[in-house]
């Protein structure tokens, strides 16, 4: 028999569902490596009209034509506020950023983009114009003095790159806005991300995507990192799922404002090449380290994500073997 609160509970959960379905989400940097796949995944989940994609320029056709799309510079507060008010946005995913390698070439531009876009979003949330924020951090918050293996959530944070400094400062501001103003801001420290659908741009971990394209088109690849340089990595499908899961999590243990370590696999160019060779035996790799070697040397080779596992049940699905199999299978069919 139904208890006397049953009907009330059902109508409350329907109310929540309706609310969620009618709440709109804005993605800044929707045409980038993560933004593209995140936009497509969120549209599939909540409906095309609910997800407003935006970027400083147009990206892939299916992304631009597949739902509302706005040309938007995340550092322009006025333009950002207009889009938020126009669409009655509830949640913002701020995926626009300059990554580690490009940021070393354009330090001031990187600082301006990475920090001012974040301040704009945090301040609009403080003014209650939006309710929830996702902001991506990175393994780049760690530095050369941090323990390299299994780096804990709370560790020495002395980044030696412009990108890392901007991410560490951003983490601090997210925590501050959460503590001072009660903002619902959630964050992940992404490792290097590997995807067959979208290309990365300007990162140090980009080799782990380029290598697949070159292995299939030319049968060889010249790595800009040394053979033995191991870094934390993740297949994009896991990263998108983690992003949606942390945003959907109703767990009381979830620490809002904290950027969580997230782990799936760790490998070096040599180890990745060996795995590719198990599918393409004639594939050859050579090494010509450039300025990105210093950046990679300053980062952990693997991170400990026990807190993410405990607080919001995070678990990866893809290891190195599975990721390589998937990447080659999809790219062969391109």
SS3 track for the chain = CCCCCHHHHHHHHHHHHHHHHHCEEEEECCCCHHHHHHHHHHHHHHCHHHEEEEECCCCCHHHHHCCCEEECCCCCHHHHHHHHHHHCEEEEEECCCCCHHHHHHCHHHHHHHHHHHHHHHHHHHHCCCCCEEEEEEEHHHCCCCCCCCCECCCCCCCCCCHHHHHHHHHHHHHHHHHHHHCCEEEEEEECEEECCCCCCCCCCCCHHHHHHHHHHHCCEEEECCCCCCCEEEEEHHHHHHHHHHHHHCCCCCCCCCCEEECCCEEECHHHHHHHHHCCCCCCEEEECCCCHHHHHHCCCCCECCHHHHHHHCCCCCCCHHHHHHHHHHHHHCC
Closest C-alpha to 269, from 330, 205, 317: 205
Residue with smaller CB distance to ligand AKB, 42 or 295: 295
Active-site residue flag, 176? no
> Considering 87, 93, 163, 235, which one is annotated as catalytic?
163
Residue with smaller CB distance to ligand AKB, 124 or 208: 208
Task: Give the nearest distance from C-beta 5 to ligand AKB in angstroms.
Answer: 47
Residue with smaller CB distance to ligand AKB, 120 or 205: 205
Task: Give the nearest distance from C-beta 14 to ligand AKB in angstroms.
Answer: 40
Rg of the chain (C-alpha set): 20
Residue with smaller CB distance to ligand AKB, 205 or 268: 205
Residue with smaller CB distance to ligand AKB, 67 or 202: 202
Task: Give the nearest distance from C-beta 324 to ligand AKB in angstroms.
Answer: 18
Q: Which residues of 32-63 are buried (b: 16+ CB within 10 A; e: fewer)?
A: bbbbbbbbbbbbeebeeebbbbbbbeebeeeb
Task: Give the nearest distance from C-beta 53 to ligand AKB in angstroms.
Answer: 21
Residues in the chain: 334
Residues near ligand AKB (CB under 6 A) are 99-100, 138-140, 163, 190, 192, 203-205
Residue with smaller CB distance to ligand AKB, 175 or 204: 204
Task: Give the nearest distance from C-beta 99 to ligand AKB in angstroms.
Answer: 4
Residue with smaller CB distance to ligand AKB, 163 or 177: 163
Q: Which residue is nearest to ligand AKB (CB)?
A: 203
CA atoms of 214 and 200, how far apart (whole Å): 15
Give me the active site residues, please.
Answer: 163
């Amino acid at each position: 028999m139904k208890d006397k609160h049953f009907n009330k509970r059902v109508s409350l959960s329907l109310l929540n569902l309706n609310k969620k379905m009618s709440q709109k989400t804005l993605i800044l940097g929707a045409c980038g490596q993560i933004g593209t796949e995140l936009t497509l995944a969120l549209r599939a989940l909540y409906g095309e009209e609910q997800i407003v994609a935006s970027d400083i320029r147009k990206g892939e056709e299916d992304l631009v034509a597949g739902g509302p799309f706005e040309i938007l510079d995340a550092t322009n507060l006025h333009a950002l506020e207009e889009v938020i008010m126009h669409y009655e946005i509830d949640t913002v995913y701020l995926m626009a950023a300059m990554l580690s390698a490009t940021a070393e070439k354009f330090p001031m531009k990187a600082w301006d983009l990475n920090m001012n876009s974040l301040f704009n979003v945090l301040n609009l949330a403080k003014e209650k114009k939006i309710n929830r924020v996702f902001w991506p951090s990175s393994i780049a918050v760690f530095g050369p003095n941090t323990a390299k293996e299994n780096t804990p959530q709370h560790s020495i944070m002395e980044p030696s790159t412009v990108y890392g400094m901007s991410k560490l400062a951003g983490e601090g501001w997210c925590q501050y806005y959460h503590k001072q103003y009660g903002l619902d801001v959630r964050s992940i420290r992404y490792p290097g991300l590997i995807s067959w659908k979208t290309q990365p741009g300007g990162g140090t971990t980009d080799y782990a995507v380029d290598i697949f394209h070159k292995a299939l088109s030319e049968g060889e690849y010249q790595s800009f990192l040394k053979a033995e340089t191991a870094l934390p990595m993740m297949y994009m499908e896991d990263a998108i799922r983690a992003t949606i899961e942390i945003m959907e999590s109703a767990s009381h243990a979830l620490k809002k404002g904290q950027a969580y370590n997230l782990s799936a696999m760790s490998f070096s160019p040599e180890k990745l090449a060996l795995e590719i060779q198990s599918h393409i035996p004639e594939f050859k790799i050579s090494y010509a380290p450039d300025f990105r070697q210093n950046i990679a040397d300053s980062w952990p080779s693997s991170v400990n994500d026990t807190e993410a596992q405990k607080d919001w049940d995070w678990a990866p699905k893809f290891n190195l073997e599975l990721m390589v199999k998937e990447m080659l299978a999809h790219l062969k069919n391109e």
